[in-house]
């Protein structure tokens, strides 16, 4: 686990090309005592092997595996480029994070960084940051970047036919998760909810919100309130900008007339659609039991670091099927296999088992290709 401080951040940097940006970043790492000149040279060599662009306007320049011996101590240094730097392939970088790490320490660093930096909207925050502390707080995980919402915050078969009671139940779930203060639960009884359509209602609670979160409650039997049907109530604690993108995903469901899914879809699907939108179709556990799942072991000695990770993602992108991947030797949480940022959050080490699930007309071809790519070392011998 790394802990970034303000001394390791340089704001308002400029670079004409990415080679210059990497050179300046390497110089900062060297001046701070993290690396030698040999590792600095290896950072550009690594970039020439494959791009270190992660997504969301972020790149992670680092050395090759051959130059790890020239790391004097593990650490990172951050350069912000408000105007951006062309990183190739149409990508523009606003934050470059230089990584110096020995052995497999880089995997934990990547896991920590990408879990924080993969959130929607983070690119704008990093690009417009006016103080080093803003970036420190974000990278150290002190700022909420992802809304609190999982399957445990979906409650089915609530045996009530009273809207106020249903509201109290929804608010109580968020209080128990730490998103709301006690007072907010009482306020939920008086707050005005909005009817979205197709039996779905939205209750927004800002006062007393400690962190942003969703809870979804569904009554056993649909009933009427204010002349409208009630089959699902979504309660949102609004504490910061972490709720903006999920609310936009909710608006998209309303526009597509798919709000009925809040009432009938399983909890896993609802959580995925509200948190990830239409980025990729959710794949349920039942589908995984069919012939569209494959478990493959990573044999790369240094695990799934940025270069083999990028090759894995590139292979997945060749297929139209929705593909998720989970690290069975990690937290087993499935992520989009076509997003390098998401794949890096898995923290895959050598011998870890990955489970791929594909859904689409070319699902079997995708699984076979991914297994073959991994067996062939993902570009490493």
Token pair listed for 88: 């190739």
Contact criterion met (CB below 8 Å) for 113 and 97: yes
Alpha carbons 140 and 95: distance in angstroms, whole number:
15
Active site residue 106: no
Token pair listed for 335: 């992520």
Active site residue 62: yes
One of 106, 249, 305, 352 is an active-site residue; which one? 305
Alpha carbons 63 and 48: distance in angstroms, whole number:
11
One of 62, 79, 249, 352 is an active-site residue; which one? 62
Three-state SS sequence of the chain:
CCCCCHHHEECCCCCCCHHHHHHHHHHHHHHCCCECHHHHHHHHHHHHHCCCEEECCEECCECCHHHHHHECCCEEEEEEEEEEEEEECCEEEEEEEEEECCCCHHHHHHHHHHHHHCCCCHHHHHHHCCCHHHHHHHHCCCCCCCCECCHHHEEEEECCCCHHHHHHHHHHHHHHCCCECHHHHHHHCCCCCEEEECCEEEEEECCCECCCEEEEEEECCCEEECCEEECEEEEEECCCHHHHHHHHHHHHHHHCCCCCHHHHCCHHHHHHHHHHCCCCCCCCHHHHCCCCEEEEECCCCCCCCHHHHHHHHHHHCCCCCEEEEEECCCCCCCEECCCHHHHHCCCCCCCCEEEEEEECCCHHHHHHHHHHHHHCCCCCC
- The set of catalytic residues is 62, 305
């Amino acid at each position: 686990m790394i802990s970034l401080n303000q001394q390791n951040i340089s704001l308002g940097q400029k670079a004409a090309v990415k080679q210059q940006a990497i050179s300046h970043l390497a110089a900062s790492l060297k001046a701070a005592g993290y690396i030698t000149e040999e590792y600095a040279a290896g950072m550009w060599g690594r970039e020439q092997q494959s791009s270190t662009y992660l997504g969301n306007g972020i790149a992670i320049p680092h050395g090759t595996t051959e130059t790890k011996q020239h790391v004097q101590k593990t650490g990172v240094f951050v350069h912000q480029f408000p105007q951006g730097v062309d990183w190739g392939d149409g990508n523009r970088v606003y934050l470059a994070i230089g990584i110096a790490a020995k052995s497999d320490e880089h995997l934990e660093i990547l896991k920590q960084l990408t879990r924080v930096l993969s959130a929607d909207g983070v690119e704008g925050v990093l690009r417009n940051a006016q103080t080093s502390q803003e970036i420190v707080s974000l990278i150290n995980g002190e700022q909420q970047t992802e809304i609190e919402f999982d399957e445990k915050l979906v409650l089915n078969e609530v045996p009530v036919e009273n809207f106020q009671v249903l509201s109290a139940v929804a608010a109580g779930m968020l209080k128990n998760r730490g998103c709301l203060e006690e007072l907010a639960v009482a306020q939920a009884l008086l707050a005005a909810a909005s009817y979205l359509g197709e039996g779905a209602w939205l209750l927004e609670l800002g006062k007393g919100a400690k962190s942003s979160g969703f809870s979804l409650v569904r009554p056993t039997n649909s009933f009427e309130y204010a002349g409208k049907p009630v089959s699902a109530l979504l309660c949102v604690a609004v504490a910061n900008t972490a709720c903006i993108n999920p609310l936009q995903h909710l608006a998209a469901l309303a526009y597509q007339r798919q709000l009925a899914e809040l009432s009938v879809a399983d909890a896993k699907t609802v959580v995925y659609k509200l948190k990830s939108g239409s980025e990729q179709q959710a794949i349920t556990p039942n589908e995984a039991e069919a012939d569209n799942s494959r478990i493959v072991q990573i044999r790369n000695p240094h695990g799934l670091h940025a270069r083999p990770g990028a090759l894995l993602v590139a292979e997945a992108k060749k297929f139209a099927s929705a593909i998720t991947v989970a690290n069975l030797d990690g937290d087993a949480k499935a992520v989009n296999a076509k997003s390098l940022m998401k794949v890096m959050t898995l923290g895959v080490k050598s011998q870890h088992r990955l489970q791929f699930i594909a859904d689409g007309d070319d699902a079997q071809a995708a699984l076979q290709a991914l297994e073959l790519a991994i067996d062939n070392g993902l570009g490493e011998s």
